[in-house]
């Protein structure tokens, strides 16, 4: 707190006792740790919950500073996302919208910053992408990272139910399997799985084959290559404009999710009566206006992206085996290979196997869905 003339200025700052734990939670979530695992870790490390902290303060006041043993409250998985979703972590002002807190914005649609954030705003927006499943991360197995080309890129999906596919290991063989198949929740495909190396090889060879066979007179090939070039430019752009563009995309999805939640809450009867109906209409109008402003800002940023940027020429005219030991592909690490595939492929789906063992139609099961220009 500081005094300027007769005006007393109060500056909100992160709680030094709580902030480190919150930063840890953000870091763990960005690394792919599930909410349940984060809650377990906090309990194991003895991190007090907010409820326990408030109880301790009240007790201390009542006992005039004499502390007594308290019943410890524990972390649960539902508490973790509620904390990580809170815009106040990034220093934003927030308002209640149904059961959630949403970013409070000014008339231009920009988020209102009310205090010092516990984490940088860019990290918070990136965290929302992770929580919404829009940002891929390495799949965790047994507490350890399992490196994989397609699973780690977040582009591999079950061709039967549409669920994401994760890494697995059976009889010392690395596999991709449907994330929902083993639960029995989806009928019709059982434990859908495919050899990891075989699937990775099919996708990589399919991409390189199309690159080497590009027809400069084919409009579809030209559009495909142009979108890949745009993505390549975005990957290389580490400037302020690209960061603002990514943040605007995340903000737009965040606003739309708030709108969806608002309608779900109304259907659940949370806005009953005349007062509730008025609150609902005002919230919809405010969010719709924010959505329009954010979409407009996103479009403006998109049109300012770099003009035509060519992808490296050696990609369209490789020499020898495109996946051979002397190839460009062989010289890349796993991260570079994922970034390369993300330029040309939006998703990969795996169909149900027809046979087993040597009779399985492994290569025919993999379908590559080429990158498309995103709808405005």
Give CA–CA dist 202/199, Å, rounded: 5
Is residue 274 situated within a structural domain? no
340: left (phi > 0), else alpha (psi -120 to 50), else beta?
alpha
pLDDT at residue 375, rounded to an integer: 55
Is residue 84 situated within a structural domain? no
Q: What is the pLDDT along the chain (376 residues), one digit of tens a residue?
A: 445 455 544 455 667 778 888 999 998 888 778 888 888 888 888 888 765 444 444 444 455 454 444 455 678 878 888 899 888 888 888 877 666 777 777 765 567 888 888 888 878 887 887 776 654 443 444 434 457 788 765 788 888 887 778 787 777 788 888 866 554 545 556 568 888 999 999 999 999 999 999 898 999 999 998 888 888 876 665 455 666 777 777 788 888 888 888 888 888 888 888 888 898 888 888 888 888 888 888 777 766 554 445 778 888 887 788 898 988 999 998 888 988 998 999 889 998 887 666 656 778 889 999 988 765 4
Is residue 202 situated within a structural domain? yes
Is residue 201 situated within a structural domain? yes
Contacts of 99 (CB under 8 A, 6+ apart): 261, 265, 270
Q: Is 251:111 a contact under the CB 8 Å cutoff?
A: yes
pLDDT at residue 2, rounded to an integer: 46
Is residue 228 situated within a structural domain? yes
- Its domain, for residue 345, covers 140-237+309-370
Q: Cβ–Cβ contacts within 10 Å for residue 271, how many?
A: 19
Q: Is 287:255 a contact under the CB 8 Å cutoff?
A: yes
Q: Is 116:142 a contact under the CB 8 Å cutoff?
A: no
pLDDT at residue 58, rounded to an integer: 41
pLDDT at residue 175, rounded to an integer: 86
Give CA–CA dist 44/78, Å, rounded: 17
Is residue 262 situated within a structural domain? no
Write the DSSP assignment of 224-284 as a string of letters: HHHHHHHHHHHHH--SHHHHHHHHHHHHHHHHHHHHHHHHHHHHTTTT-HHHHHHHHHHHH
| Continuous segment of H or E residues that includes residue 156 | strand 156-158
Q: How many domains does the chain have?
A: 1
Is residue 296 situated within a structural domain? no
Q: Which residue has the tokens 């994401």?
A: 164
Considering the entire predicted model, what is its pTM? 0.48
Q: In Å, what is the CA distance from 271 to each residue of 255, 256, 259, 266, 312? A: 19, 19, 14, 5, 56
Please give the distance of CA 250 from its chain centroid, rounded to a whole number.
9
Is residue 151 situated within a structural domain? yes
Give CA–CA dist 348/196, Å, rounded: 13
Q: Is 108:234 a contact under the CB 8 Å cutoff?
A: no
């Amino acid at each position: 707190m500081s005094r300027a003339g007769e005006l007393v200025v109060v500056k909100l700052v992160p709680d030094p006792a709580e902030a480190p734990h919150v930063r840890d939670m953000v870091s763990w979530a960005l690394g792919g740790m599930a909410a349940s695992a984060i809650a377990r870790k906090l309990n194991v490390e003895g991190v007090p919950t907010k409820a326990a902290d408030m109880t301790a303060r009240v007790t201390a006041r009542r006992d005039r500073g004499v502390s007594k043993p308290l019943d410890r409250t524990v972390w649960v998985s539902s508490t973790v996302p509620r904390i990580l979703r809170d815009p106040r972590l990034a220093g934003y002002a927030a308002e209640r919208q149904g059961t959630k807190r949403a970013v409070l914005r000014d008339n231009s649609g920009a988020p209102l910053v009310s205090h010092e954030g516990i984490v940088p705003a860019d990290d918070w927006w990136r965290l929302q992408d992770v929580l919404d499943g829009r940002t891929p991360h390495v799949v965790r197995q047994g507490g350890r990272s399992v490196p994989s080309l397609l699973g780690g890129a977040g582009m591999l999906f079950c061709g039967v139910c549409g669920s994401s596919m994760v890494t697995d290991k059976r009889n010392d063989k690395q596999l991709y399997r449907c994330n929902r198949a083993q639960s029995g929740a989806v009928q019709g495909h059982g434990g859908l799985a495919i050899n990891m190396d075989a699937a990775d090889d099919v996708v990589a060879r399919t991409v390189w084959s199309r690159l080497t066979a590009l027809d400069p007179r084919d409009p579809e090939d030209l559009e495909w290559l142009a979108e890949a070039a745009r993505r390549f430019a975005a990957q290389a752009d580490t400037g302020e404009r690209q960061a603002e563009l990514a943040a605007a995309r995340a903000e737009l999805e965040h606003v739309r999710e708030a709108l969806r939640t608002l309608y779900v809450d109304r259907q659940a009867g949370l806005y009953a009566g005349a007062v509730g109906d008025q609150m609902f209409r005002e919230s919809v109008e405010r969010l719709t206006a924010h959505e329009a402003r954010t979409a407009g800002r996103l479009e403006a940023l998109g049109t300012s992206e770099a003009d035509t940027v060519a992808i490296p020429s050696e990609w369209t005219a490789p020499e020898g085996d495109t996946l051979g030991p002397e190839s460009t592909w062989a010289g890349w690490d796993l991260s570079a290979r994922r970034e390369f595939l993300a330029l040309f492929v939006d998703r990969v789906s795996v169909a149900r196997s027809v046979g087993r063992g040597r009779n399985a139609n492994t290569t025919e099961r993999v379908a590559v869905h080429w990158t498309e220009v995103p709808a405005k």
